[in-house]
Amino acid sequence: MNTLKEKIDEWKRYYRISDVGTISRRYFVMNAFDGALTMLGVIIGAFIAGILEPITIITAAISGSIAMGVSGMSGAYMTEKAERTKEFKELQRAMVSNLENGLHHRSHRFATIFASLVDGLSPAFAAMIVVSPFFIVPLWYHHIRHCIFRHHLSYPSASHPSWYLPSKDK
């Protein structure tokens, strides 16, 4: 049985042989940007709709992150598997030998899985950074909400239709 250090060394070797770093960096940057913008859209939409409860925004963010992750991972897996299989077959033809279960075959499988994980996890990671302040908000939410409604400074929303009525104080 391989030790953890041996396994990590093996993965480093596969990483170098498969040259998965270039495509993984591109996947990370593109998809992290998508995840961040998607969550900004969720936050802006919640604000426009008058949704003040942080748990609603957090729930939407987690759900969206899971969906982006599954979509990214499955799409990248199918794409990388097809491309890596094509490259591997070309390598076998050029070498005029069967390389199945060899070092190059294992490195191509590793690259497919590694790129898929990067593609799927990067938007979720960026999305959680964008919504991270909402994990802190519940600590102060009730105090802030009390202050807003006590001073009649509520934001327009469908959940509070009386926002447009004149104040009884006048």
| Residue 16, in any domain of the structure | yes
- Total domains in the chain come to 1
DSSP string, the chain: ---HHHHHHHHHHHHHHHT-HHHHHHHHHHHHHHHHHHHHHHHHHHHHHT---HHHHHHHHHHHHHHHHHHHHHHHHHHHHHHHHHHHHHHHHHHTS--TTSHHHHHHHHHHHHHHHHHHHHHHHHHHHHHTHHHHGGGTHHHHHHHHHHTT-PPPBTTBGGGGSPPTT-
| Residue 153, in any domain of the structure | no
Reported as a single tens digit per residue, the pLDDT across 19-41 is 888 888 988 999 999 999 999 99
The boundaries of the domain holding residue 93 are 8-135
Structure confidence at residue 147 as a pLDDT band (50, 70, 90): low
| Residue 118, in any domain of the structure | yes
Residue 57 has pLDDT above 80, yes or no: yes
| Residue 115, in any domain of the structure | yes
| Residue 26, in any domain of the structure | yes
Mean pLDDT (the chain) is 80
Query: pTM for the full model?
Result: 0.68
| Residue 48, in any domain of the structure | yes
| Residue 2, in any domain of the structure | no
| Residue 1, in any domain of the structure | no
Q: What's the mean pLDDT in 89-114?
A: 78
